[in-house]
A and B are shown apart, each in its own frame.
Chain A
Amino acid sequence: MIKLSYRFVQNSSSLELAGMPDVSNGDTENTIGILSSWTLKIIGSPTLEGEKEHLENLMQVILQYSRSYISGIRKSFISKKRIVTISPFGSSHKLLLKSTKKDVKPLEIILDDSELSDITQCLDLLRFDSRFNICWDITLDKPFSKRYIYSSVYNSNKRINLFYAFIIFLSTSFLMLLIPTNNKFDLRETTNSSQIRNE
């Protein structure tokens, strides 16, 4: 059986996949239908490798995160099997990879915007490559609802605004309480004038 290997290089990232055609599925000799291994090299980070399941989980979080990021939403995403997590980390992004093997500590990789877009492009090239006949369990790029965007983008601002509003309300109420009120206000003059009018 011929072993095929394809590589996608995008500046700081290099994704290499090896596999073979799935003859039972009618794949041609240049098509990978069965993925045997993959390697992701990111400059300045340890090499990542694993099985199809691991790559699928990585694709799930990276592509979802990039889809949200392009809409201005920065939030954490966890893969379906909970082995890959990506979350905002200051102005960068933190990729957390948990090993399926016991006694192996989770691997943490900090990516900047350029590295994130490099990895995203590598994964994009893979999912749209016709030389691969593999069904990936990933979410398609769909528009978000307005409510979701507002709740994700403006949530923190809303809370701060509510807090400020509460503080302003309390301070103005306190100031109003400090204003002295004249309870002994004499209304005699006005009553006199009304009496004169009646006369």
Chain B
Amino acid sequence: MCDFIKPTLNLANQQTPVIIEFMNKSNLVGTHSEELKSDSKYCKTNGVKGYLNCVIADDASKKLDFLILVIETLQINATDSLFLKAKNIGLSEDYSSRVQFWKIRCSNPLRKSYAFSSLSSEQIDSLVQLISSMAENLYPLIRQLLSSKESKTLNQERWFLFSSRLKSLINERMNVNRSYIASLLKDEKHEFFRELLVILSLSCGKGGVCRLKASLYHQS
């Protein structure tokens, strides 16, 4: 079995504190400069401000939900890590309750349980920060999948595991009657999945937060 899936599968049967402890010790946790190590400091100094004369893009909720889905694919029990990360970076209580978090994610119109709601700019800011810091943790795995310099067979094996897990999550949560979802499940080139991984890789760090946030808005 592929080496990057092994640790996550081993952790699947463990309890949350064990997983968190493992994450802190393991090499899965990406490191950057001293400045970015403290989550709370990171939150305060990221300098993301609202955009003038800009509106939220139509596909913002879809994009954010799929990015979280990719995080869930890369890390088993990612929801617990997401809540812990949200607490560390000082996000609101919406990100500590599973139900509230699920409600936010139900703004994605492609979900089975679409709530006919839209995301506010505050919710987008919070989700962007959360996704960015999770992407930073999972960067070694994301990088492995995006790299073309490693052996083809190993890369194919990684992609097979990743795509099959992501497809099963999509099948479970998205409205499969929609042609877009059906086409995603049939797609063997995994172009959209690769696109999501690229977005995650470019969302790491302070610059990544600004970049991802800018991509979720349109100039009016």
Chain B residues with Cβ under 8 A from A99's Cβ? none
**A81 to B206 alpha-carbon distance, docked (Å):** 27
Interchain CB contact under 8 A, B214 and A67: yes
- Measured CB to CB, the closest approach of chain B to A128, in angstroms, equals 5
- Measured CB to CB, the closest approach of chain B to A81, in angstroms, equals 22
Interface SS of B by simple majority = helix
Interchain CB contact under 8 A, B146 and A117: yes
Chain A residues with Cβ under 8 A from B205's Cβ? 121, 124-125, 128
Interchain CB contact under 8 A, B147 and A112: yes
Chain B residues with Cβ under 8 A from A11's Cβ? 143
Interchain CB contact under 8 A, A142 and B214: yes
Chain A residues with Cβ under 8 A from B217's Cβ? 143
- Per-position contact with A for B185-204: 1 when CB-CB < 8 Å, else 0? 00000000011011101111
Nearest A-chain residue to B56, judged by Cβ = A143
Nearest B-chain residue to A112, judged by Cβ = B148
A107-139, CB < 8 A from B = 112-115, 117-118, 120-121, 123-125, 127-130
- Measured CB to CB, the closest approach of chain B to A123, in angstroms, equals 8
**A165 to B155 alpha-carbon distance, docked (Å):** 40
Size class of the A contact interface (CB-based, 8 Å)? 35 or more
Question: Could you say which of A44, A66, A142, A149 contacts B202, with CB atoms under 8 Å apart?
Answer: A66
- Measured CB to CB, the closest approach of chain A to B57, in angstroms, equals 8
- Measured CB to CB, the closest approach of chain A to B52, in angstroms, equals 10
B100 on the A face (CB < 8 A): no
A144 on the B face (CB < 8 A): yes
**A115 to B146 alpha-carbon distance, docked (Å):** 9
Q: A70-B211, A124-B205, A124-B206 are in contact. Are A113 and B198 (CB under 8 A)?
A: yes
B210 on the A face (CB < 8 A): yes
**A144 to B202 alpha-carbon distance, docked (Å):** 17
Question: Could you say which of A70, A144, A145 contacts B198, with CB atoms under 8 Å apart?
Answer: A70
Chain B residues with Cβ under 8 A from A120's Cβ? 202, 207
Nearest A-chain residue to B212, judged by Cβ = A70
Chain B residues with Cβ under 8 A from A63's Cβ? 207
- Per-position contact with A for B143-165: 1 when CB-CB < 8 Å, else 0? 11011110000000000000000
A71 on the B face (CB < 8 A): yes
Q: A44-B149, A114-B147 are in contact. Are A145 and B32 (CB under 8 A)?
A: no
Chain A residues with Cβ under 8 A from B199's Cβ? 70
- Per-position contact with A for B47-69: 1 when CB-CB < 8 Å, else 0? 00001001001000000000000
Chain A residues with Cβ under 8 A from B219's Cβ? 142-146
Interchain CB contact under 8 A, A125 and B202: no
- Per-position contact with B for A153-183: 1 when CB-CB < 8 Å, else 0? 0000000000000000000000000000000
Chain A residues with Cβ under 8 A from B51's Cβ? 142-143
Question: Could you say which of B35, B149, B213 contacts A129, with CB atoms under 8 Å apart?
Answer: B35
- Measured CB to CB, the closest approach of chain A to B197, in angstroms, equals 8
Show 10 residue pairs from A and B whose CB-CB distance is below 8 angstroms, ordered by the A residue.
Answer: A66-B202, A71-B215, A113-B197, A114-B148, A117-B198, A124-B206, A130-B35, A141-B213, A143-B51, A145-B219
Known contacts A70-B202, A113-B201, then 13 further A-B pairs from the complex at CB < 8 Å, ordered by chain A residue: A71-B215, A113-B194, A114-B201, A117-B198, A121-B204, A121-B205, A124-B208, A129-B33, A141-B210, A143-B218, A143-B219, A144-B219, A145-B218
What residues make up the interface of A, taking CB atoms closer than 8 Å to B?
8, 10-11, 44, 63, 66-67, 69-72, 91-92, 112-115, 117-118, 120-121, 123-125, 127-130, 140-146, 149
| 4 A-B pairs with the lowest CB-CB distances in the bound complex, closest first | A124-B207, A143-B217, A117-B201, A113-B146
